[in-house]
Amino acid sequence: MQRKFGILLLMIWTVLSVDGFAGDARRNASFTQKSSATQILPSPVPSQAQINSVSDVWLQAANRSMKRAGFQQGLFAIPAGAIAVAPNQPPVQPGNTKGIINALCDVPLYVLGCGFSANAAVITCDTNGDGIPELQIPLKDVRVVNGNLIHAIIPALSPQLPGTAFPLACCGDTASLTLIKHVGAGDDNIFGEYTLKATCPIELGMRAPVILSAVASSGDCAIGHNLQLPGSCFILPDGKPNVTSVFAVEKGNPGNVIDVTRFVILSDHLIDAYFEFGATSAGKTFLIYASGPNGTSRNMTSLPPGAPVGCPAGNEQGIEVTFTCTSVAPPPVDPAPGSFAIISSCRVERDAAGVFSLIISGRHFKEGATVTIGGVTPKKLKIKNADPNEPGSFLTIVARGRVCNGLPGAIIITNPNELPSLAVQCNVSCSQ
């Protein structure tokens, strides 16, 4: 009876707290709406008076957005002040989180109106376009500033992706933001262990194409070159292309732009592009870009204004994607078609004994091939599924032993007497 009475008191306290916090938020922010709303205010951590004075443009924009949408939910997120993105990517506007998927490095957030003192938060992204978010992105530095204000940061994914807070498998659209408070049992807690959660949709925007590297990276430009461009978000969830053009810009001379002769999107993670730079380009280095309806791939030689301190230039990995036209033609080094393994997908499996395996699919896998996963060499490899279209080649490699140590991470396969494959990021883990 005493425990039931305690639970009843907890429920009454929660309802009164939510209503009280929401009312305070509306009064302090001069924000008119029918229900309490989560709002994200400019960083750094301000006093309440500073919040009221500097956040008007963001709160007014949020208010207009809510009125247009007839917004009636408990949580609502907008950017934490100005969010820096790479050139030729959609800017993040006040009153809307659309576009933060392209934000440079850490993304700080302030959240109002949660109704309880959250001590954890997570964003969950829909990676396959089925409308069900499944990839969790934990936030850091979740803390209560005051009764109405919670601070959190979507952290950059160092060391593998130091330039972005979002895994490459997350191409944007609508995700969910969940605030969490877990209270353990103890002498000072008569209600027992419990967890409070509050969830709202958060629109990330659609990600611009991501190019990780270019293979080959140099050559005699008197002849044409086929470049393999691994990356992510080349195809939208509805199957339409997120890349409509591929081009090269001379480094240090942005007026010299060379459009691709032709290109093919081989998968969501790989583009094949044929360039004809011309003999007059000898000695020049070109930055490689892909562009589409959601902006141009990141490939910065310098940071834009407002970029977080310490954020790297280049792409999401902090690397410039380039092709250099050699001054004198070197010996041929470009791989002929089919002279290196092609990786198309990966997945983790766990057998009845609890042993994890990484299943790598693709083509042109050869007996005696070596594999690294995030720089880690598996203990055992099994090659299977002979390719009926290429005698002596296989379509599947099963890796066991130490695979979890390298995940998520880049997979590289090297066939005997051949060049290494393109590094393909495998964004799975043994905890999923």
Beta bridge partners of 349: 357
* Domain co-membership, 304 together with 407: no
Q: Supply the pLDDT for residue 51.
A: 42
Tell me the pLDDT of the chain averaged across its residues. 80
Task: Determine, yes or no, domain membership for 331.
Answer: no
309-336 tens-digit pLDDT: 999 999 999 999 999 999 864 454 445 5
The predicted-structure confidence for 242-287, as pLDDT tens digits, reads as follows: 999 999 999 999 999 999 999 999 999 999 999 999 999 999 999 9
Give me the helices (H) in 369-427, please: none
Whichever domain contains 353, its CATH number is 2.60.40
> Is 334 inside any structural domain?
no
For residues 151 and 261, membership in a common domain is answered with no
pLDDT at 352: 87
Task: Give the chain's end-to-end CA distance (angstroms, integer).
Answer: 40
Whether 29 and 112 have beta carbons less than 8 Å apart is answered as yes
Task: Answer whether 0.75 is exceeded by the pTM.
Answer: no
Residue with the bigger pLDDT between 297 and 113: it is 297
The count of C-alpha atoms lying within 13 angstroms of the C-alpha of 125, restricted to the half-sphere facing its C-beta, is 24
pLDDT at 27 over 50: no
Domain boundaries, position 387: 342-426
Residue ranges of alpha helices (H) inside 175-244 are: none
Does the residue 330 lie in any domain? no
Distance CA 117, CA 127 (A): 30
Q: Select from 139, 171, 206 the last residue of a domain.
A: 206
Residues 6+ apart with CB under 8 A from 19: 36
Please report where in the chains the tokens 């593998």 appear, as a residue. Answer: 160
Burial 9-18 (b: 16+ CB within 10 A, else e): ebeeeeeeeb
Tell me the average pLDDT across 7-23. Answer: 38
Tell me whether strands 107-112 and 424-426 are parallel, antiparallel or unpaired: unpaired
* Residues 117 and 17 both lie in one domain: yes
For residue 400, name the pLDDT band (cuts at 50, 70, 90).
very high
Indicate if 172 and 230 belong to the same structural domain.
Answer: no
Same domain flag for 124 and 26: yes
Alpha carbons within 13 A on the beta-carbon side of 48:
13
One-letter identity of residue 18: V
User: Within this chain, do residues 53 and 175 fall inside the same structural domain, yes or no?
Assistant: yes
Cα–Cα distances (Å) from 376 to 11, 382, 408, in that order, read 50, 16, 11
CATH code assigned at 319: 2.60.40.10
Answer whether 164's CB lies under 8 Å from 156's CB: yes
User: Considering only 240-244, 355-359, 420-424, which range has the smallest mean pLDDT?
Assistant: 420-424
Q: Among the three residues 156, 186, 206, which one is the final residue of a domain in this structure?
A: 206
Residue percentage of the chain with pLDDT more than 90: 50
| CA-to-CA dists, residue 108 to 40, 154, 346, 424, angstroms | 9, 6, 32, 29
Last residue of a domain, one of 176, 206, 236: 206
* pLDDT category of residue 297 using cuts at 50, 70 and 90: very high
> What pLDDT does residue 53 have?
40
Q: Is the pLDDT of residue 3 over 90?
A: no
In a domain, 72, yes or no: yes
Mean local confidence (pLDDT), 370-395: 92
Tally the domains of the chain: 3
Q: Please name the amino acid found at residue 4.
A: K
For residues 143 and 280, membership in a common domain is answered with no
How long is the chain? 432
pLDDT recorded at residue 118: 86
Domain shared by 239 and 307, yes or no: yes
Do residues 192 and 69 share a domain?
A: yes
Which range among 27-36, 56-65, 237-246, 337-346 has the greatest average pLDDT? 237-246
Within this chain, do residues 353 and 393 fall inside the same structural domain, yes or no?
Answer: yes
What is the mean predicted confidence (pLDDT) over 164-193? 85
Query: Within 147-298, where are the H helices?
Result: none
CA distance 86 to 8: 51
90: left (phi over 0), alpha (psi -120 to 50) or beta: beta
Residues 190 and 245 in one domain: no
What pLDDT, on a 0 to 100 scale, did the predictor assign at position 275? 95
DSSP character for 352?
Answer: T
Task: Check residue 60 and give its pLDDT.
Answer: 53
pLDDT in tens, 101-143: 999 999 887 777 667 888 899 999 999 888 888 999 999 999 8
| Within a domain: 186 | yes
Between 147 and 58, whose confidence is greater?
147
Same-domain pairing of 170 and 45: yes
